[in-house]
Amino acid sequence: MTVVNPAPSSPAPTNGNHAAAASLILRRVAIDTSRENVVYLNRDCEAFRAGGLQALAKVEIRANGKRILATLNVVDDTSIVACHELGLSEDAFAQLGAPDGHRVAIARAAPAESMPALFRKIADERLNRDEFHGIVRDIAGHRYSTIELTAFVVACKRGELDREEVFFLTDAMVASGRRLDWHEPLVVDKHCIGGIPGNRTSMLVVPIVAAHGLLCPKTSSRAITSPAGTADTMAVLAQVELPLDKLANIVREHRGCLAWGGTADLSPADDVLISVARPLSIDSPALMVASILSKKIAAGSTHLLLDMPVGATAKVRSMPEAQRLRRLIEYVAHRMHLSLDVVVTDGRQPIGRGIGPVLEARDVMRVLENDPRAPDDLRQKSLRLAGRLIESDPDVRGGDGFGIARDILDSGRALARMNAIIAAQGSQRFDHHHAHLGVLTFDVLAPCAGVVAGIDNFQIAHIARLAGAPKAKGAGVELFHKLGETVAPGAPLYRVYAEFPADRAFAQQAARKATGYLIGDADDVPPVAVESR
């Protein structure tokens, strides 16, 4: 596997102010400001006064040939940072990579070059290929403030980029980071558009298709607003933050992996955009397509299976909407030379029983071990999707995939492959028979007798999130009843697990407002109109 690095970005325009500020001494300031780079200067510092800077100005720090952007905080306490020092927050210090005491230069950051294009898009204009590349390059280079990022995300959502613009955006996002080349004609991958809690089919599909012999180097995200992403759930079983060479070795040996995509620096602009889009619950087709395809193409996939759940409380609410989205993503995949298979699936309710990292990991292991307690919907859906992927193997006939996948699962070969992958990545020694769940729990009971006629994916995910998932791995929701099942009054519908009192309180407050369950008659259960095999 080889890595293709992105073209270097154009050097920042000079501003003639570096020489004067070269005499500052770097000092690590032990403040964790999360992903925001902060630089601390003393108010009496010469560089601060001479540079005409002010608090919250965007500045550029240079040392050792490296350059980072940061926001300025002004300090009035020499014990935090002295007049000849330049302080950097934890992440910024790590990014710059220079040691304490090193000489650094500071200058006001030149505004991002793509600003005019950004303003044109905010004003509803159509952008060309170069303009998208400029914007994405600046985003990946952390030249955009939170305000500018948000404006771009909202403008893209509302302006409904035309399909060619979506292609330009996708292409630019691939170009903004590394690209992996596996040197094989068939590199398969699976992705779900999301919105369905508990839907961890990837963790079953990968070992199944890898056991069949297909190359499936799966990288996934951690959750931003959902109760668990694939990377969060896999992290319960094994190490997921793998250096690229280790990831490549694992894939070479076991034909698959389930790693966190962050270390590989694939489509870095995507991560920046998501950090803003998800908190706003923005899921525009344009951004969704660009995000998914750019990540997969950068990861070196040649064949992608896309799971698109449709339902009243899923991301895609109706079949016409699903068709529109499918046509868009098929067009962009075609322009990007990626083979794409879209499968529209049942999005009326969560998949599986557990929602939250440990609860979902337990479901996954139960399916792999053919445990009778394994949730059947998770098993069936995973077999279907694995089967479809297996059919990209030219030696497999259309329709035979499901049976092949089922044999691999029933025989234990999928379990063996998963265990091998877990061992290779670094096992967390998870025992699903003794799963460590949050001890602060409460049950939500059926208010009356009847049939489960609706389960609100959003509300259930919201409650699981308030309960602490995914940060608190043992937190989340365990569903006892699914659509169509009969319940007696007072029967527990689901149990919420939390690790902290505040989390339990917030989750309980939300569940009291709305349980997410609708109890009615058998006729009230919404029908599903998607392929079943």
Residues in contact with its own copies by the rule CB under 8 A: 13, 15-17, 20, 29-36, 40, 43, 50-52, 54-56, 73-77, 79-80, 89-90, 107-108, 110, 119, 122, 124, 145-148, 150-151, 153-155, 157-159, 276, 279-282, 468, 471-472, 499-503, 505-506, 509
Q: Can you read off the two tokens belonging to residue 493?
A: 């519908």
Closest approach, Cβ 463 to its own copies, in A, equals: 13
**Catalytic one of 283, 377, 400, 407:** 283
DSSP string, 199-228: --THHHHHHHHHHHT-BEEEEEPPPSSSS-
For the CB of residue 505, give the shortest distance to its own copies in the complex, in Å.
5
Contacts of 385 (CB under 8 A, 6+ apart): 190, 201, 205, 305, 307, 343
Q: How far is the CB of 390 from its own copies (least distance, A)?
A: 39
Cα–Cα dist 286/122, whole Å = 15
87 and 80 in contact (C-beta within 8 Å)? yes
Indicate the residue among 52 and 65 with the shorter CB distance to its own copies. 52
Tell me how far, at minimum, the Cβ of 231 lies from its own copies, in Å.
17
Q: How far is the CB of 159 from its own copies (least distance, A)?
A: 7
Closer to its own copies by Cβ: residue 101 or 243: 101
Looking at beta carbons only, is 153 or 479 nearer to its own copies?
Answer: 153
Residue 187 or 469: the one with the smaller Cβ distance to its own copies is: 469
Residue with tokens 């691999």: 408
Contact 176, 290 (CB under 8 A): no
**Residue whose token pair is 């917030």:** 506
Closer by beta carbon to its own copies, 173 or else 510: 510
d(CA 41, CA 52): 13
CB hemisphere CA count around 173 (13 angstroms)? 31
To its own copies, the closest distance from the beta carbon of 336 in angstroms equals 28
State yes or no: cis peptide before 6, omega within 30 of 0.
Answer: no
Least distance from its own copies to the Cβ atom of residue 73, Å: 5
Cα pseudo-dihedral 211, 213, 217, 222, rounded to 10:
-30
Tell me which DSSP letter residue 530 carries.
S
E-only strand ranges, 227-284? 256-260
**Closer by beta carbon to its own copies, 182 or else 260:** 260
Cβ(485)–Cβ(509) below 8 Å: no
Report yes or no: 375 and 524 within 8 Å, Cβ to Cβ.
Answer: no
Quick one: which H or E segment has residue 48?
Answer: helix 46-50
Tokens of 173: 């996002």
141-167: string of b/e by CB count within 10 Å (b at 16+)?
bbbbbeebbbbbbbbbbebebebebbb
Residue 283 is a catalytic residue: yes
The torsion region of residue 374 among left (phi > 0), alpha (psi -120 to 50) and beta comes to beta
Least distance in angstroms from the C-beta of 403 to its own copies: 43
First to last CA, the chain: 35
Measured from the CB atom, is 233 or 284 closer to its own copies?
A: 284
**Between 89 and 114, CB nearer to its own copies:** 89
Could you give the residue numbers annotated as active site? 283
